[in-house]
Amino acid sequence: MIKGKTLFISGGTRGIGKAIVYAFAKEGCNVAFTYASSADAANDIIADVESKYGIKARAYKLNILEPETYKEVYELFDQDFDRLDFFISNAIISGRAVVGGFGPFMRLKPKGLNNIYTATVDAFVVGAQEAAKRMEKVGGGSIISMSSTGNLVYTPNYAGHGTNKAAVEAMVRYAAAELGEKGIRVNAVSGGPIDTDALRAFPNYEEVKSEVVSRSPLSRMGEAEDLTGACLFLCSSASSWMTGQTVVIDGGTTFQ
């Protein structure tokens, strides 16, 4: 039962994050989310979910490459909400910030790799630490890091992201081992290639899409909404004895 509880998710204006915002709001859960630059897009989502589902929604600007600023965002969150039950670390970086991190192995550069680590692992750590402080006050909660099967299956140009997804999944297990005594469960949701704006920005998008469709027994690309069910499950009492795990949702592609 998540009705009347509160979710905080990073990166909630597009793709997977937006789908999760809507899925939780539909179940009567209040939602807070971050955005990188588009306040208008965030405000449109707030107005839409509040009118459709009668819940409270708020959005906060966050530069995921400066994870320490999460603390300031959480202070704003505290002014708007009196409890936090679920935290999902979802925001990613793209564009110039990943130059040197997205590409063939021989073209990888420390700066690009470090930026991906900052946005993937460091941001999860700080976001989850701040969430845990608040969850402890309400007797526990559920923390999720979004991941990808790019750390399980070779994906061209994805070495920087793939290795950092492996790293954040390891961090999830450590967090789960230490936060369980506070009634906080920590898991990861690992998606196969999902048809989002982020993936469409890949120069080899059509090649990736064709490969996924041919590899999946379900003969289709994953959609953002395909990942929301696992997140709802991991935040519900149905998964009350599940922590430190990575749930893979990939249309069967990692076995092919």
Per-residue confidence (pLDDT) for residue 193, from 0 to 100: 84
HEC per residue, the chain? CCCCCEEEECCCCCHHHHHHHHHHHHCCCEEEEEECCCHHHHHHHHHHHHHHHCCCEEEEECCCCCHHHHHHHHHHHHHHCCCCCEEEECCCCCHHHHCCCCCCHHHCCHHHHHHHHHHHHHHHHHHHHHHHHHHHHCCCEEEEEEEEHHHCCCCCCCHHHHHHHHHHHHHHHHHHHHHHHHCEEEEEEEECCECCHHHHCCCCHHHHHHHHHHHCCCCCCECHHHHHHHHHHHCCHHHCCCCCCEEEECCCHHHC
Residue 241 has pLDDT above 80, yes or no: yes
CB 32 within 8 A of CB 80: yes
CB 9 within 8 A of CB 42: no
pLDDT-derived band at 95 (thresholds 50, 70, 90) equals confident
Q: pLDDT tens digit string along 8-52?
A: 999 999 999 999 999 999 999 999 999 999 999 999 999 999 999
Question: Mean per-residue pLDDT for 226-249?
Answer: 98
> Residue holding tokens 């059509």?
206
pLDDT-derived band at 211 (thresholds 50, 70, 90) equals confident
Per-residue confidence (pLDDT) for residue 175, from 0 to 100: 98
Give CA–CA dist 186/72, Å, rounded. 23
Residue 256 has pLDDT above 80, yes or no: no
Per-residue confidence (pLDDT) for residue 196, from 0 to 100: 81
Residue 201 has pLDDT above 80, yes or no: no
Per-residue confidence (pLDDT) for residue 8, from 0 to 100: 98
The matching CATH number, chosen from 3.40.50.720, 1.10.340.30, 3.90.1660.10, 3.40.190.10, for 6-251 is: 3.40.50.720
Residue 209 has pLDDT above 90, yes or no: no
Question: Mean per-residue pLDDT for 96-119?
Answer: 95
Catalytic residue flag (residue 117): no
Per-residue confidence (pLDDT) for residue 139, from 0 to 100: 98
Per-residue confidence (pLDDT) for residue 242, from 0 to 100: 98
- Pairing assessment for the beta strands 6-9 and 141-148 based on DSSP bridges: unpaired
Catalytic residue flag (residue 165): yes
Q: pLDDT tens digit string along 140-188?
A: 999 999 999 999 999 888 999 999 999 999 999 999 999 999 999 999 9
Residue 237 has pLDDT above 90, yes or no: yes
pLDDT-derived band at 200 (thresholds 50, 70, 90) equals confident
Residue 54 has pLDDT above 80, yes or no: yes
Mean pLDDT score across all residues of the chain: 95
Q: How is residue 134 written in tokens?
A: 């608040």
Catalytic residue among 22, 60, 117, 158: 158
Give CA–CA dist 83/99, Å, rounded. 38
Residue 7 has pLDDT above 80, yes or no: yes
Catalytic residue among 52, 165, 174, 209: 165
Domain ranges in the chain? Answer: 6-251
Q: pTM of the entire structure?
A: 0.96
